[in-house]
Every structure is written in structure tokens, then in C-alpha cells.
Amino acid sequence: MLDPTIIESIANELVEAGRTRTPVPLLTARYPDMEVADSYAVQRLWRRRNEEAGRTLVGRKIGLTSRAMQMATGITEPDYGAIFDDMVLSTGCAVEWDKYTHPRVEVELAFVLKTDLSGPGCTLFDVLNATDYVVPALEILDSRIEMAGRTIVDTIADNAAMGAMVVGGTPVRPDAVDLRWVAALLYKNQTVEETGVAAGVLDHPGNGVHWLANKIAAHGDSLRAGDIILAGSFTRPMWVAKGDTVHADYGPLGAVTCHFT
């Protein structure tokens, strides 16, 4: 483990990078001995700094759960990050492109919990029983660390690249549809750029949620009733530019859209 003073220095650096929109150099280049445990320590302190600044934790994101995402990033294990209240946007919104660094968009499902969920030993069945509803969502990826050469260590410390999420479409109970077969078409400016099926996320999007509950249990943490859990992307990340309109068509589950201004 890195010295606690270094962990604190990195967390403060990332808070400032988020404020200035200026990515910092790769952590792995500066701290070659940095490990995944160090990255989660940085993330927890970064989260605390944001909560002290008035942001409210409303859920978690799970990343790198699909083969598509792992192939796109070269990273082979899932990760997770925090979702704050000001990160949750509604379909049809205008998104300020300049608020994000290298923004990209992914297609996901969000699980909203009706009861607490904790590990160890949490299963897919526990997730389905604890879920109030599942709803289509887009994730907007952000970057507070430079992109080229990133490893899982950099990504985790960077709150798993979470920027914001856009929620829309039709909420459904977890037993109302076969969540494995939820599919989506991702459009940018009227052109289909990506397609995907939710089974691409660990064979069932709920598998990411129980992975998360078990993972954070090791830190004495758990998921709470009302939390929003982004289960992971089943498409590759799509780059967006200022002026782009993004539309994700989930068929029977409706659509999510946003416009970058």
C-alpha cells in the first residue's frame, strides 16, 4: 500500500482536476508500485471530499463488466465508482459538453433498490428480490486522469470514469421481462453507432450488482434502499462532441436521449 499521505495527495489532486477540467498525468507512471487497493483507497477519500463539499451519494456505477468494454479498454476486471445526486440527469436533457473531459457515452440498465443489499454471499436472486425496478440509462464517461495508457489502477482511482447518467424510457419490475435479452440501438446524430444486448454484462446485468455488493462488503460497505446501480455497459463507449445528439432505443423499454451543447 502507498503511504497514506500519498493517497491523500492523489485524492485532493483529483478533486482539483474535476474542478478545473484538467486531467492529471497517469498515476501508474508516477507511482509504479500503486495497486488496486491503493486506487480504492484514493476513491473512498475522493468520495469523502465530495460529500464534505455538499454532494450526496445516491448510488454506484459498475464498469468493465462486458467483453465489449474490456476489449475496448484492455482492462479485464470490473470496477465500481460513486454516483452523486448532481450526476443524475433526465432524458431529453441538454448536457454541457465543456463540463466533462473526453466525454463518451455507454448504454446500460440501472437497478433501483427497494431494500438494502449486502455481502458477502450476495447472489443474483438476492439482487432481483431487492430491486424495485430496472430502467434504461446512458452513462456519460468523464476523465480526471489522462487517457493514453490507463490501467485498472488509474481508472478505479478516477471514480471508474463516472461523469453523469441520463435516465429515461420505461421502468420495469425485474421479473416483468427477461433482462438478459433487453437490447438497445445507440444513435449519434441519426446514425446507429453501436448495438448491444444486456446479457453482454456478465451473462445477466444483475450479476454485476451482486458482484458489487460482495466487493464493497470487504470495506464494511453495503448498498441501500433507494440506491441507483448502473449495472455496466453492453456497448463500447461512443465518443461525443459538442453539438451531438445521442438517442438510445431500447424497444419495448422506450428510449433515452440527450443533446450535448
Residues 6+ apart with CB under 8 A from 165: 61, 83, 87, 88, 89, 108, 110, 137, 138, 139, 140, 228, 230
Contacts of 164 (CB under 8 A, 6+ apart): 87, 88, 89, 95, 100, 139, 140, 142
Q: What is the pTM of this model?
A: 0.94
For the segment 6-15, what is each residue's pLDDT rounded down to a tens digit? 999 999 999 9
pLDDT in tens, 28-42: 999 999 999 999 999
Q: What is the pLDDT of residue 70?
A: 72
Contact (Cβ atoms closer than 8 angstroms) between residue 256 and residue 169? yes
Q: What is the pLDDT of residues 180-233, one digit of tens each?
A: 999 999 999 999 999 999 999 999 999 999 999 999 998 889 999 999 999 999
What are the grid coordinates assigned to 139, written together? 452513462
pLDDT mean over 145-164: 93
Measured between alpha carbons, how far apart are the two ends of the chain, in Å?
Answer: 42
**Which CATH number is associated with domain 4-110+137-204+226-260?**
3.90.850.10
CA atoms lying within 13 Å on the CB side of residue 174? 21
